[in-house]
Amino acid sequence: MTSEVVADMQAYYARRAQEYERVYQKPERQADLRAMEAALPAYFAGHRVLEIACGTGWWTSHGARDAASWLATDLNPETMAVARSKPMPSTVHFATVDAYSLADLGGARFDAVFAGFWWSHVPLARLPGWLDMLHERLPAGARVMMLDNLYVDGSSTPVSRYDADGNGYQLRRLDDGSTHEVLKNFPTREQAFAVLGARARAPQWTTHTHYWVLSYDLS
């Protein structure tokens, strides 16, 4: 089931690439977005950053402003093509990388990680192992930031069902008329902290109206 869900989501985001950023145009979300965008540069200033699942690069251009280096990775050429077309700081580079294995990073070293709207799409059964794998690639003192959606009635797409593992799913319709079932989880602070693992030090959870931000350093 898990591999099929992951493959389905890859196909969905490839088809959604040209319409993806409409989600950032919702009027009720603008104050939250500006606040999160403004906070990113200082958090990553001077760091060598790995971005997981950069998508269309919306967050890349903000977070990378003062970073020493920023590697924006994704598996979909369609979304990365949108990201590559945007003006970016000279420190930004792109690479096709599978977020579940990070096998194509070679010997690159990082001391910070950013992942926007990735956590919610990771099947719950895979999340602890994925976090452990990510942390193993980072040195002590590295910093991690992840941000994602809170569920808000009237703004979020309703969850259509839950599976036996507790994963939620949404039905989403694209401009081409196709409908896709997309895994989408909305963790609480307590649920997120519970899977971070032993190396996560003093995690911080910031709640906006429509989003959450999780940040921590590694021991």
DSSP characters for 54-95?
-TTSTTHHHHTTT-SEEEEEES-HHHHHHHHTS---TTEEEE
Closest Cα partner for 83 from 64, 55, 63? 55
Give me the residues paired with residue 122 across strands.
none
Residue 77, classified by CB atoms within 10 Å of its CB into exposed (0-12), middle (13-18) or buried (19+), is exposed
Residue 14: closest CA among 205, 174, 184: 174
- The hierarchical CATH code for the domain 2-218 is 3.40.50.150
pTM: 0.94
Asked if residue 11 lies in contact with residue 75, where contact means CB atoms within 8 angstroms, the answer is no
List of residues 6+ apart from 26 with CB closer than 8 A:
155
Domain residue extents for the chain = 2-218
Task: Inform me whether the pLDDT recorded for 7 exceeds 80.
Answer: no
Give per-residue pLDDT as tens, 178-204: 899 999 999 999 999 999 999 999 999
The pLDDT value recorded for residue 2 is 63
User: Cα(187)–Cα(198) distance, rounded to whole angstroms?
Assistant: 19
Contacts of 23 (CB under 8 A, 6+ apart): none
pLDDT tens digits for range 76-115: 999 999 999 999 999 999 999 999 999 889 888 999 999 9
| pLDDT for residue 39 | 97
Per-residue pLDDT at 1 exceeds 60:
no
